[in-house]
Amino acid sequence: MYSLLFILLGVAITPIADFIYVYFPKLVVDLLNQGKPFGQVALYAGVVLLISYALILAPIISDAYLQKKNKAIGLKIKRDIYEKALRIDYQYIDNPEYYDKYTWALDEYSDQAKAALNLVKRFFTLVASIGVLFALIASTAPWILLLDFVQLFLHAQIFKYENKVNIQYKADLVPVRRRLSYFHRIFYQKEYAADLKSSPLSKKIFGKYEIASQKDVEITETYSKKLSFYNFLHETTFCLTEFIIIIYLIHAISTGRIAEVGLYITMILAFYRIDEKLVFMLQTFSSAHELSLNSEKIQAFFAIEPKIEVEAKDGSLTSPKGPFSVEFKDAAFSYENSDFSVSGFNLSIKPGEKIAIVGENGAGKSTLVKLLLRLYDVSGGAILINGQPLPDYDIYALRKRIGVAFQTPNVYAMSYAENIALYSDLSREDLASITDHLGLTSILKKNQADFDSELTREFSEDGIMLSGGETQKIAIARIMKGDFGLLLLDEPSSALDPLSEYKMTELLLGEANKTTTILVSHRLSTVRSADKIVLVKNGKIAECGTHAQLMALEGSYCEMFTKQAEHYLA
């Protein structure tokens, strides 16, 4: 309905408006030449102008509806892009080229949809208008049409090269504009504010900003010169054609072939109008070509084929009940453009067992968590859940039964309750229990807030501002009531105070937790009570055992634990 109304408004109104614009002056002059009284001519002129006024009002009256539908379509398109981004494998997010494709799609797709509809409307409108104007000119001076077609051919050649330049212009700007957008984000978002205010960081950022800005200006200058040259060619072609036609019409009048002044006016106006329409038609075909080139880049984003983030196939395993057993079987993995790798990794975890993974920075601890979430696939060996390879499961169903708490969890501009209930809906009683158990009640009290208060002050002046430790408590709260078969905890207590850390350790590694749990930590005081501690070095298991066994071994774990303990003993 929206598309049909949008197109019909142009097809029905524009040709009539063109006819009135071109033919109205001639009819007025003819009536005056025939000696018609002023009142009759004025009445005729008033009726024609009233019709013109109605033609102007029609799109204005329908504009509210069209704007509403246009906005809804644009927002729906953005949602489609967000959903596609959600279904793209995690590995692509490591690649800057992916962000260029994403930015292009986000910036251009909505405009492309509107442009395509405008293109259709413009095409049918121009066909109707050109038909009316052709009839007027062909009846008197068909030679003008021939000259116009020659002009259009020249314009077409110019547009062909101009489109290629335009597309390359946009492509060259995307990475630069994305970098400038990054600087905008740095100065806008709260997590960067403290660094900017307390260090010389801003000086470095402004230096980078100036480099990106200069690059933006240089690209704009380069392509603006090229596009200006094409505009010069367009205008020169039009002016030459205009000069030839005017000379022709003057010659025709002077030789008596077009005697009426009104007809001369009509021919001049018809030429300008049809020339404008024909150039618009050419631009329409040119825009269609540009849309085609643009769509190739948009399709490049939508053509990214995920291997992991796909809908479950027939025969995919559903998520198993109860605590998971987990086994790494000769697992291997490496990142692109990196020397780091996991190889020959073997680890067996029984249902309900609590495993701690420790090691130096970059040893591969967090990589194991990402592999278990199947954000990446192993390149060799296998990861088994309850004895079945990870790829055999419906990944979305499986992830619903894996609770995750990261070292730097995100909080969202939603209510406290919604932030806690990310995995599943929670009753008010459950929320109250979790809040009390994790000591979050004090956060609500000091902010004079309740469960419906919004976290962050992104959109609410009364929003709750959280410290790093409080944010980590929110992350732990999210996994308190879920029906999980596996818990993955990646440095979940790094920002907690000692008492809160002790309570968290009791909660997650104590007897009350029956879920299979994998805890990644640098703070070795939090892992002592784990059923098994795994020390990882360079993507391999270096040591494995209980705390007592590893201390008796007097290896790397013992050294690390002793060094950390010295700070407390001192």
Six-digit token string for 490:
């990646």
Q: Which of 346, 335, 324, 359 is nearest to 488 (CA)?
A: 324
Select the more confidently predicted residue: 218 or 134. 218
Does the pLDDT of residue 249 top 90, yes or no? no
The pLDDT of residue 268: 64
Mean pLDDT for the stretch of residues 264-283:
64
Distance CA 48, CA 23 (A): 11
DSSP 506-552: HHHHSTT--SEEEEE-S-GGGSTTSSEEEEEETTEEEEEE-HHHHHH
Distance CA 111, CA 542 (A): 55
Contacts with 357 (C-beta within 8 Å, 6 or more apart), sequence order: 365, 368, 518, 519, 520, 521, 533, 534, 536
Which overall architecture, per CATH, does domain 2-302 show?
A: Up-down Bundle (1.20)
Does the pLDDT of residue 468 top 80, yes or no? yes
Select the more confidently predicted residue: 211 or 7. 211
* 3-class DSSP string for 4-38: HHHHHHHHHHHHHHHHHHHHHHHHHHHHHHCCCCH
Domain ranges of the chain: 2-302, 326-409+486-569, 412-465
Does the pLDDT of residue 383 top 60, yes or no? yes
Which overall architecture, per CATH, does domain 326-409+486-569 show?
A: 3-Layer(aba) Sandwich (3.40)
**Three-state DSSP state, 458:** coil
Q: Which helix (H) or strand (E) holds 331?
A: strand 326-334
Positive or negative, the CA dihedral 7, 8, 10, 15 is: positive
Q: Which of 299, 305, 313, 369 is nearest to 87 (CA)?
A: 305
Sheet holding 354-358, edge to edge: 402-405, 486-490, 516-520, 354-358, 532-537, 540-545
Distance CA 75, CA 176 (A): 25
Residue 432 zone, left/alpha/beta (φ > 0; ψ -120 to 50; rest): alpha
Does the pLDDT of residue 203 top 60, yes or no? yes
Does the pLDDT of residue 339 top 90, yes or no? no
Rg of the chain, C-alpha, whole Å? 35
Question: How many C-beta neighbours within 10 Å does residue 232 have?
Answer: 11
Select the more confidently predicted residue: 415 or 91. 415
**Three-state DSSP state, 376:** coil
Mean pLDDT for the stretch of residues 79-91:
81
Mean pLDDT for the stretch of residues 372-385:
93
pTM: 0.68
Per residue in 15-31, pLDDT (tens digit) is: 777 666 666 666 776 77
Q: Which helix (H) or strand (E) holds 259?
A: none
The pLDDT of residue 328: 95
Contacts with 241 (C-beta within 8 Å, 6 or more apart), sequence order: 147, 148, 150, 151, 275
**Three-state DSSP state, 102:** helix
Q: Which helix (H) or strand (E) holds 257?
A: none
DSSP 8-state secondary structure symbol assigned to residue 495: T
Per residue in 430-445, pLDDT (tens digit) is: 999 988 888 888 888 8
**Rounded to 5 degrees, what are φ and ψ at 424?**
-160, 160
The pLDDT of residue 97: 77
Question: How many C-beta neighbours within 10 Å does residue 111 have?
Answer: 13
Does the pLDDT of residue 250 top 70, yes or no? no
pLDDT band at residue 194 using 50, 70 and 90 as cut-offs: low
